[in-house]
Structure 1
Amino acid sequence: MNIQGKKNQVLMVRSASVKKKPNPKKRGYNSKGKKKVNVAAKHGTNNNKKASKAPPPEERQCFECNNMGHWKRNCPEYLAKLKLNTWVFDTGCGYHIINVLQEPKSWRKLKQGDIELIIGDGKRVPVLATGTYHLSCPSGLEDSFDNCESCLAGKLTKDPFTHVGERSKDLLGLIHTDVCGPFITISRNHERYFVSFIGDYSRYVYVYLMKHKHETFEKFKEFQNEVEKQLDKSIKTLRSDRGGEYLSLKFLNHLKEHGIISLPTPPGTPQLNGVSERRNRALLNMVR
């Protein structure tokens, strides 16, 4: 475990509840709103089995304290342990999530829809409040855990790439491009992709939203017409990955007609298109 810093960001969420929909295939259910139909149940093959019933309250035994009269979920000892052990820290993220109201130093209550978490099944859970919690170890010491190499390695996107290519010496001498998407959250106009065009000399970027990847060719022509007329220069080289949107016959013929050299990167080497990859990551962080 790697816990760095005295203060840890905490999110408090409310457990999501899902209402069960009526099952139209269930016996006795009438989907048209009429009276229920009584259907006689068939005789089972084994009549010796009987449905098990819950024991009466006085015969219930707790699996925590082994006393009679209550279950584990209502056991005072078990509830007391929950209050002491409700924190599960994930050192691989920037926030820690709890679903039980604790006592951090400061709670900042949020409005409905300010922050939402997407859980494993795709449902959204609203965040009720955020705050900071001062972490102290049982020994009374603070920042006492060693660095966890596994956690640090898990945060790395890839090993450093030290190769430095030659920088373009003129505007539009080299253009980097990449398509990013599809995204789960769509824009107001239902776009799920975006394509970026970055000048290697100026690092100026153009971003176009798209509904489909095949719109990349039209967006490139739109970008080309604007920059070539505004700068009174021509695009010399286009660097991209080996995406099908850049290798289509129409796209390649258009590049040949305008004297633009296509430089697709070798397979499995996204670092050679690092200018576009880093810029896309920066854009996504800004959106988030």
Structure 2
Amino acid sequence: MLATMTAELQKQHENMAAFDMIEHLKTLYQEQARHERFDVSKALFQTKLSEGNPVGPHVLKMIGYVENLERLGLPLERELAIDLILQSLPESFSQFVMNFLMNDMDKSLPQLATMLRTAEKNMKGRGKTILMVNNGKPKWQQKKPTKPKGNGKGKAVAKPSTKALKPIGGVAKEGKCFHCGKTGHWKRNCPKYLEDKKNGNVASTSSGINVIEINMSTSTSWVLDTGCGSHICTNVQDLGTSRALAKGEVDLRVGNGAKVAALAVGTYDLTLPSGLIIQLLNCYYVPAISRNIISVSCLDKCGFSFIIKNKCCSIYLDNILYANAIMINGLYILDLDMPVYNINAKRIKPNELNPTYLWHCRLGHINENRISKLHKDGMLDSFDFESYETCRSCLLGKMTKPPFTGHKERASDLLGLIHTDVCGPLNTPARGGFHYFITFTDDFSRFGYVYLMKHKSESFTLFKEFQNEVENQLGKKIKMLRSDRGGEYLSLEFDNHLKECGILSQLTPPGTPQWNGVSERRNRTLLDMVRSMMSHADLP
């Protein structure tokens, strides 16, 4: 918890327990959050879109209010949030609102924003156009101004009652009645139909709007199709390095069996919201098709992979997320206007704003790969996983010294190299008041001498004693003496004595006891032996 706080808050809470921290933070910010929640909810309920203003920024602003309320502890139901957005739209979107409510669409807030932007473009380009289905037959109807006939005076025609129904309109000589099956008249003029309707033997049929759903083509939306063998575009201007096709050279067969002609073929550079580009090779320009189509099989041949999950088809190449296609009305639509949030190629956020770094601190500065695995397994809350900057705390806390892997050279003769080191002071003095001991180890034979000392200043005297003994017994001279940079070895009299005897002094670098490892290992062995014997004898 302290890692997520600012420096000032860390100073205030560093001596508190977790429960006390939470209670203190509540007293500091709970009242402030209450006022902020009131302001955000007020802005959300009072936001209205003026006629003529773009709908995209308006919806994004309201989604931001909804997310702020959820962050402040007042989450709204998704249906309530959708209702508030629909209620804030002007009268020009009334047809869209009616269609949305009648179809009872189950959409998320980003999907609703996409549908509203598409509807706005369609209204600007084609006016208010809806697909009508009357008595089971589709019919495009568009509002047109009606012109008065005659002198402008009309009479209201009363609806005929079921008791006095008569044939109306002309008679079709070649028409076939859908009620009795005979030719020569239509169903509305069929005597049998009128008689059955008068007697109430005809089931009532409801006419009106049965389908209120439009899939309009836009240059910024593409449909992912697994059944299409080639890419198809509807705008030849964006087709690069293209060539025209002769009539009949390439014909595509659509779902109803009809053939449509391709007029050009080329490479389409599809610029994605993430900034990445997908090259659609051998993309055909087919003006007869109303939708831009991406062939999944063609992308698969180019090395792309697809993951379908939670009504979303994600497109990957070399483990890099290129785009997300959202399911809209049963089709996976790639909207080039919708931004991509979860992508590794985008700029890394600062650690203070990065939720991945926050979990890195909460979980004890674990590795980024482990956080990624926990995120994929669903163990962590849903968030935008991305890399974070180098954690300086990890560098300071996990820094280790690399091991010494080199092999040291061994002496080729007795007394060729002597290792020496002083150990102490000891917590419990030995008999006689000795607090230190010094060791001398021959590098060739690893035979060693141990001398007890009361003070470190006795090192020079004991070295001369050791030197006289071994040189007299072996008839050889000490050639090199290796020691650390202890003060007992750097005294002037010690240095002068080594020069007089022709002994080379080898001093290890500061902070590297590994270079004097023979003496350090000998000291440790002696101390382990002494502690074990004292423990066995129940001595302090």
What TM-score bracket applies, with the shorter chain setting the length? 0.3 to 0.5
- Give the number of the structure whose residues are more often helix, by fraction: 2
TM-score (norm: length of structure 2): 0.24
Structure number with bigger Rg: 2
